[in-house]
Amino acid sequence: MVDFQSVLNGIGITATKATDRGRIASYIPELEKIDLQKFGIHLINIKQHSFSSGDSDERFSIQSISKVFTLSMALGLIGEKLWERVDVEPSGDPFNHLSLLEMENGIPRNPLINPGAIVVADILVSILDNPKDDFLAFIRNLADDDSINYDEEVAQSEKMTGYRNYAAANLLKSYKNLTNDVDSVLDFYFHQCSISMSCAQLANAFYMFINNGNCRRNNTQLSKGQVKRINALMLTCGFYDEAGEFAFEVGLPGKSGVGGGIVALLPNEFCVATWSPGLNEKGNSKLGMLALERLTTQTELSIF
């Protein structure tokens, strides 16, 4: 049996001492207020035993990690039809790049880059009666935690400065790959990114990706095949132009966010969430990546 707690304790001690912690995302002004010294990690295994270290119960902005939740909800609702509007190839580009979108006639490379996530948001806005309420209920059910909520200040902060997302949505609209109006889709998108969750809540919500689509409340959200596909997308596209590096160093499917969170998982074994708000040059949490490399190296547990 792997002693996860002592591995996490060691990771926590190293993180506390780290001097180069990366830089906090500044293009969403509200995120800049976060303390660079924060670090948390929480792991839940398939038997639902939990292990943690540091600021693992403190909530932060999940940002792009929300793209995995919207993708899961949309795939559960419309199934394979989703792939008519968004592809499944890694982009090798930063999350907010637009040039490929124009070259490929408005079909985003994958659902985890911003244009792809905006298409997925459009699908949910079309289908759901009360998109924001219904999506929040979906996440609360996954995490088995009804206290999870949007952060209105973060959502408004991004609405004021999200120029590239407005550009992406308008480009999608010009290619007829956006059904609803730009403002209502982006209102939903900025809200999904603003959701506040702790490492513990994120690891709990991702439990279904290690448990064949059954969440902690033991209701089935996705089929085995759908979970396989989402895990594959996390591996190949979850870290944008650093997906190769993450697979090389860590060896797990995962997803990052510019709030400094990363969630990663080993199917049938464990999922783990880390939080450290300082990012590297590619926009992924610097200490989070180091922590996960250490976790999979020390435990010898990875998909490879």
- Residue from 45, 70, 96, 177 binding ligand DON (CB under 6 A): 96
Q: Does 115 bind ligand DON (CB under 6 A)?
A: no
Whether residue 240 lies in the annotated active site: yes
Instruction: Name residues contacting ligand DON, limited to 3-62 (CB under 6 A).
Output: none
Neighbours of 257 (CB within 10 A): 30
Identified catalytic residue from 64, 256, 276, 285: 64
Question: What tokens does 276 get?
Answer: 């450290």
What residue has token string 């994120």? 202
Count H helices, E strands: the chain? Answer: 12, 9
Q: Does 110 bind ligand DON (CB under 6 A)?
A: no
Judged by beta carbon, residue 101 or residue 258, the one nearer ligand DON is 258
CA–CA distance from 101 to each of 37, 63, 67, 95 (Å)?
A: 37, 21, 18, 12
Closest residue (Cβ) to ligand DON?
64
Identified catalytic residue from 258, 272, 286, 302: 258
Identified catalytic residue from 38, 68, 227, 240: 240
Identified catalytic residue from 38, 67, 159, 286: 67
Q: Does 221 bind ligand DON (CB under 6 A)?
A: no
Whether residue 163 lies in the annotated active site: no
Q: Does 63 bind ligand DON (CB under 6 A)?
A: yes
What residue has token string 């090389």? 248
What residue has token string 């009804």? 146
- Residue from 41, 43, 121, 193 binding ligand DON (CB under 6 A): 193
Nearest distance in Å: CB 278, ligand DON: 13
Judged by beta carbon, residue 284 or residue 296, the one nearer ligand DON is 284
Per-residue DSSP letters for 87-123? --S---S-TT--HHHHHTTT--S-TTSHHHHHHHHHH
Q: Does 257 bind ligand DON (CB under 6 A)?
A: yes
Is 135 within 8 Å of 70 (Cβ atoms)?
Answer: yes
- Residue from 136, 227, 258, 291 binding ligand DON (CB under 6 A): 258
Please list the helix, strand and coil fractions of the chain in percent, rounded to the nearest 5, in that order.
Answer: 50, 10, 35
Q: Does 277 bind ligand DON (CB under 6 A)?
A: no
Rounded Cα–Cα distance for residues 251 and 8 (Å): 18
Identified catalytic residue from 189, 198, 263, 272: 189
Nearest distance in Å: CB 111, ligand DON: 13
User: In the beta sheet, which residues pair with residue 261?
Assistant: 275
Q: Which stretch binds ligand DON (CB under 6 A): 3-11, 74-82, 123-131, 251-259?
A: 251-259
Q: Does 113 bind ligand DON (CB under 6 A)?
A: no
Q: Where are the beta strands (DSSP E) in the chain?
A: 23-24, 40-45, 50-54, 60-61, 196-197, 254-256, 261-266, 270-275, 278-279
CA–CA distance from 103 to each of 108, 114, 210, 259 (Å)?
A: 10, 16, 36, 30
Is 135 within 8 Å of 192 (Cβ atoms)?
Answer: yes
Q: Does 206 bind ligand DON (CB under 6 A)?
A: no
Whether residue 17 lies in the annotated active site: no
Instruction: Name residues contacting ligand DON, limited to 154-173 (CB under 6 A).
Output: 158, 165
Residues of this chain that interact with ligand DON (CB under 6 A) are: 63-64, 95-96, 114, 158, 165, 193, 256-258, 283-284
Residues with a catalytic annotation lie at 64, 67, 189, 240, 258
